[in-house]
Amino acid sequence: MQLDEVAVGIVDERLAGDAVDPGRPPHPKAGVAQLGHDLVEVGDLERQVGAGRGIDLLDAQEVDLLVAGAEPGPRDPDVGAVELDEAEVVDVEADRSLDVGDVDGDVVQADGRHRDSLPGAVATVPGVTEWTEAYLRAAVDALRPLEDPERAEQMAAYMKDHFPFLGITAQPRRQAIRAATASLGRPPSEDELLAAAEACWKVDERELQYVGTDLLARHRGLLTGASLPRLRRLVGTKSWWDTVDALASPTIGSVVQGDEELLAEMDRWVDDDDLWVARTAIIHQLRFGAATDAERLFEYCLRRAADREFFLRKAIGWALRQYAKTAPVEVRAFVDAHRDELSALSIREATKHL
């Protein structure tokens, strides 16, 4: 098990009081602190974890009581003493007892409220810096008060119960995030932008993935062709039409537009075995308008026309319908010429406004 430096930082900076002076000698009583009836063995009172973060764990003595303000949960029989040789993750189980038996990176905030997997998410994304950590904390803190359990059930059901939700619709979510993160400014680099989005994907609740797609779309000008492998990983992770579509057109389309080398990568994506990668290729030109490469669009539609997968057939129809706003005659001619190859769903969607 590993005690995450973010979790320890919360214990130290928010609960134990003043920050630790790295030059102060070790406390003579440093030895064992209690955490939810599980022993945490500490060789030194003061340690440096991560980017020079000072830790004064034993000033808290019984960390579980100081953190949660409640009696600790029953000891997990599978957990013994935990040595703090490296950064370790302190977990708060779903029932909010303070055992460290189920380690997923959960911690509690200073007021005892449960903070889900955010700290673990931040700690495990390459390239994370203070900006990403601050952004994710601000986002989670802004959304938690807006939770609506009843709406969350409805939203989860709409998404076939693939993901848990907080129950926050798009407009209040975006308003809350905009207000909470305004002072942070834009991401300082492409890596930082991608790291923040990747961290959003590591939080369970679906709204955080929406925060990630919005962030990428808003700052897509920072993204270069080098981002494409990482964007593809997001397409293929926790995949469903909601996040895939939000990545495909505003962000990935913007990255590849006008670059033949990157567009050749889209040529490979459309044949991918992952339907979501193929769907991304089919719809990446949705916002191109008159700049749409019609030849490439029509070719993609035909290459996947025989596929029986609903989400690919729907994507073909959607891409054609969108281009029909710019070139209705060309789309009608294409559909008429290939009625025997296109599915009824694709034809119906493509010709909806023709």
Contact at 8 Å (CB) between 244 and 276? yes
Domain interval for residue 305: 224-354
Q: Residue 196 domain-assigned?
A: no
Is 95 inside any structural domain? yes
237 in the same domain as 333: yes
Instruction: Name the domain boundary from 86, 115, 144.
Output: 115
Q: 230 in a domain, yes or no?
A: yes
| Range in 104-118, 144-158, 325-339 the model is least confident about | 104-118
Work out the percent of the chain whose per-residue pLDDT is above 70.
64
d(CA 317, CA 354): 12
Same-domain status, 106 and 140: no
Do 179 and 212 fall into the same domain?
yes
Predicted confidence (pLDDT) per residue in 134-156, tens digit: 998 899 889 989 999 999 999 99
User: What's residue 83's pLDDT?
Assistant: 33
Q: Is residue 12 part of a domain?
A: yes
In a shared domain, residues 17 and 143: no
Residue 37 shares a structural domain with residue 138? no
pLDDT at 77: 40
* Percent of the chain's residues with pLDDT above 90: 59
Say whether both 292 and 185 belong to one domain. Answer: no
Is the C-alpha dihedral spanning 206, 207, 213, 219 positive or negative? Answer: negative
Q: Which one of 93, 115, 137 terminates a domain?
A: 115
CATH assignment of the domain containing 184 = 1.25.10.90
- Determine the average pLDDT of the residues in 341-351: 97
pLDDT for res 128: 58
* Residue 99 shares a structural domain with residue 136: no
Same domain, 210 and 238: no
State whether 297 and 232 are in the same domain. Answer: yes
- Whether residue 311 is contained in a domain is answered as yes
Q: Is the predicted pLDDT of residue 259 greater than 60, yes or no?
A: yes
The answer to whether residue 197 sits within a structural domain is: no
- Return the residue matching tokens 């889900």: 116
At position 99, the amino acid (one-letter code) is D
pTM above 0.75, yes or no: no
Average pLDDT, the chain: 73
Give the number of residues written for the chain.
Answer: 354
Residues 109 and 137 in one domain: no
Enumerate the H helices of 69-205 as residue ranges.
118-123, 130-143, 149-158, 170-181, 190-201
- Model confidence band, residue 130 (pLDDT cutoffs 50, 70, 90): confident
Domain count, the chain: 3
Least confident of 53-62, 222-231, 256-265: 53-62
Instruction: Report the distance separating Cα 276 and Cα 282, nearest Å.
Output: 10
178/265 same-domain check? no
User: Would you say 239 and 276 are in contact if contact means Cβ atoms under 8 Å apart?
Assistant: yes
The last residue of one of the domains, among 47, 81, 115, is 115
- Minimum mean pLDDT among 46-60, 168-182, 258-272: which range? 46-60
Taking only the tens place, the pLDDT of each residue in 233-246 is 999 999 999 999 99
Question: What H or E segment, with its residue span, contains residue 54?
Answer: strand 53-56
Residue 271 predicted with pLDDT over 60: yes
Residue 144's closest CA among 58, 204, 71? 204
Residue 272 lies in a domain: yes
Residue 198 falls within a domain, yes or no?
no
Asked if 211 and 241 sit in the same domain, the reply is no
DSSP SS3 for 107:
strand
Reported as a pLDDT band with limits 50, 70 and 90, residue 49 is: very low
Q: Give pLDDT tens digits for 171-228.
A: 999 999 999 999 999 999 999 999 999 999 988 899 999 999 999 999 999 999 999 9
State both tokens at 242: 């909601």
Residue 188 has φ and ψ, to the nearest 5°, of -75, -15
pLDDT of residue 53 exceeding 70: no
